[in-house]
């Protein structure tokens, strides 16, 4: 109808992270204040789209949530319309049902805030006719096309502060301390927190380590009077000619593999080879919690306002990204598929090596 308001939907998919509420706030306020749009929030990511669960978002609903962690809409890292587990414990393609619910909500477009799994699903839905725009978030910082994702900086601060705290107890008890951080198959979080926290050894998924080299570094430090060492280990790290450590499998998840336990394996190896007392700290979901950093609040706001502008112009099938401090829009197709990984040629690797950091090679 001429003059009728446009309706824009928002969902947050995948794992939670600081900055999601800031992104929702930016989209909703921009849509309401600048484009006179109605805003609909989809509950619990794609699960809400499958089950037709949603709510209307007003200006007041998003006031005061900028600094809140998590997402008030809820999220799910299991819901996948193309591979949904039904009550008979069978996987079914229910994407048509999700699209029917999208249309029943009378949405003119849907903004999906998520990582590689969410954006891959979003791209499939876009190809089936849903007007979609992607907003990148993940503490792993592993999405192609963008220099930063919502949540990475906040998780980086949490990990760095944890490393700082471990330094004092490591010095006091003359121990080798291992801190295992998230990141899945990309080592950005371990690399950046390890460098920022003064880690002596940083182990990444992209650079298989030699345990003998790791132990050599620890023993040499001990011989020089440095009676402690800090190892920052990405959960996806693996030894040369070895595999990643899988904690368990979650069959109904978009990524069924749950990594975890590499820190304990390395600790056991170090103690056996060197005889030095070694302790492990696994940060786990602490990295996903807490309030977003100022950088993440600003990034989420910039992403949110730009995605809303794209929606108002009917420019769908895009994802907003950060390039050279500018917010750009690139084709969603270019942003999905293979993830962004750390390269040995990365300048941060070069700087870390220059100050004596070992990567176990």
| 161 & 260 share domain | yes
* Rg (alpha carbons) of the chain, rounded to whole number: 22
Q: How confident is the model at residue 258 (pLDDT cuts 50, 70, 90)?
A: confident
What average pLDDT does the segment 290-312 reach? 97
pLDDT tens track for 7-44 = 999 999 998 999 999 999 999 999 999 999 999 999 99
50 falls within a domain: yes
What is the percent of the chain where pLDDT is above 70?
Answer: 97
Q: Which of 288, 306, 327 is the last residue of a domain?
A: 288
Q: DSSP labels for 201-263?
A: EEEBTTB-B-HHHHHHHHHHHHHTT---EEEEEETT--BTT--PPEEEE-TTSSS-EEE--HH
Q: What is the predicted pLDDT for the residue at 249?
A: 66
Q: How confident is the model at residue 356 (pLDDT cuts 50, 70, 90)?
A: very high
Q: What is the predicted pLDDT for the residue at 251?
A: 67
Higher-scoring residue by pLDDT: 308, 248: 308
| 282 & 296 share domain | no
301 exposed, middle or buried (CB, 10 Å; 0-12, 13-18, 19+)? buried
Q: What is the predicted pLDDT for the residue at 331?
A: 97
| 133 & 17 share domain | yes
What average pLDDT does the segment 173-196 reach? 95
| 245 & 313 share domain | no
| 24 & 120 share domain | yes
261 falls within a domain: yes
The pTM assigned to this predicted structure is: 0.93
Residue among 13, 95, 28 at smallest CA distance from 58: 28
Q: What is the predicted pLDDT for the residue at 88?
A: 72
Higher-scoring residue by pLDDT: 187, 225: 187
| 47 & 145 share domain | yes
* 140 is annotated as an active-site residue: yes
| 30 & 126 share domain | yes
| 40 & 161 share domain | no
What average pLDDT does the segment 174-200 reach? 96
pLDDT at 123 over 50: yes
| 186 & 75 share domain | no
pLDDT at 1 over 60: no
| 323 & 257 share domain | no
pLDDT tens track for 316-331 = 999 999 999 999 999 9
What average pLDDT does the segment 279-301 reach? 96
Q: How confident is the model at residue 248 (pLDDT cuts 50, 70, 90)?
A: confident
51 falls within a domain: yes
Q: What is the predicted pLDDT for the residue at 254?
A: 63
pLDDT at 89 over 80: no
What is the percent of the chain where pLDDT is above 90?
Answer: 84
342 falls within a domain: no
Residue among 216, 252, 259 at smallest CA distance from 237: 259
Q: What is the predicted pLDDT for the residue at 85?
A: 84
Q: What is the tally of helices (H) and strands (E) in the chain? A: 11, 15
Q: How confident is the model at residue 47 (pLDDT cuts 50, 70, 90)?
A: very high
| 23 & 110 share domain | yes
pLDDT at 302 over 80: yes
pLDDT tens track for 150-184 = 999 999 999 999 999 999 988 887 889 999 999 99
| 146 & 47 share domain | yes
pLDDT tens track for 59-80 = 999 999 999 999 999 998 889 9
Strand partners, 249: 257
234 falls within a domain: yes
DSSP letter, residue 337: S
Residue with token string 């007003």: 58
Domain count, the chain: 2
350 falls within a domain: no
Order of all β-strands in the sheet with 109-114: 54-57, 38-42, 7-12, 109-114, 132-136, 318-323, 326-331
Least confident span in 103-107, 221-225, 244-248? 244-248
CATH of the domain at 125: 3.40.50.450
344 falls within a domain: no
Q: Considering the chain, what is the average pLDDT of its residues?
A: 94
Give me the catalytic one of 16, 44, 140, 296. 140
pLDDT at 293 over 70: yes
Range of the domain at 16: 7-150+292-335
Q: HSE-up of 221 (CA within 13 Å, CB side)?
A: 24
């Amino acid at each position: 109808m001429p003059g009728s308001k446009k309706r824009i939907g928002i969902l947050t998919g995948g794992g939670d992270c600081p900055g999601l509420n800031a992104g929702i706030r930016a989209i909703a306020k921009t849509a309401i204040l600048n484009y006179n749009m109605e805003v609909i929030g989809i509950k619990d990511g794609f699960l809400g789209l499958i089950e037709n669960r949603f709510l209307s978002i007003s200006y007041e609903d998003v006031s005061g949530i900028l600094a809140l962690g998590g997402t008030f809409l809820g999220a799910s890292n299991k819901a996948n319309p193309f591979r949904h587990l039904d009550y008979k414990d069978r996987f079914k393609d229910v994407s048509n049902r999700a699209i029917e619910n999208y249309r029943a909500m009378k949405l003119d477009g849907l903004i999906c805030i998520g990582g590689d799994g969410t954006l891959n699903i979003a791209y499939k839905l876009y190809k089936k006719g849903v007007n979609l725009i992607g907003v990148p978030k993940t503490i792993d910082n592993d999405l192609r096309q963008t220099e930063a994702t919502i949540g990475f900086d906040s998780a980086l601060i949490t990990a760095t502060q944890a490393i700082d705290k471990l330094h004092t107890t490591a010095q006091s008890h003359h121990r080798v301390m291992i801190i295992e951080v998230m990141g899945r198959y990309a080592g950005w979080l371990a690399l950046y927190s390890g460098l920022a926290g003064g880690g002596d050894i940083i182990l990444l998924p992209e650079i298989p380590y030699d345990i003998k080299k790791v132990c050599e570094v620890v023993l040499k430090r001990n011989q020089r009077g440095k009676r402690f060492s800090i190892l920052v280990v990405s959960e996806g790290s693996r030894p040369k000619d070895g595999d990643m450590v899988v904690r368990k499998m979650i069959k109904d998840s978009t990524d069924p593999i749950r990594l975890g336990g590499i820190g304990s394996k390395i600790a056991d190896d170090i103690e056996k080879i060197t005889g030095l007392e070694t302790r492990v700290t696994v940060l786990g979901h602490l990295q996903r919690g807490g309030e977003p950093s100022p950088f993440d609040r600003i990034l989420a706001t910039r992403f949110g306002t730009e995605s809303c502008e794209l929606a108002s112009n009917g420019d769908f099938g895009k994802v907003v990204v950060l390039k050279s401090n500018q917010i750009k829009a690139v084709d969603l197709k270019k942003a999905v598929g293979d993830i962004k990984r750390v390269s040995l040629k990365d300048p941060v690797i070069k700087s870390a090596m220059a100050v004596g950091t070992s990567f176990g090679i």
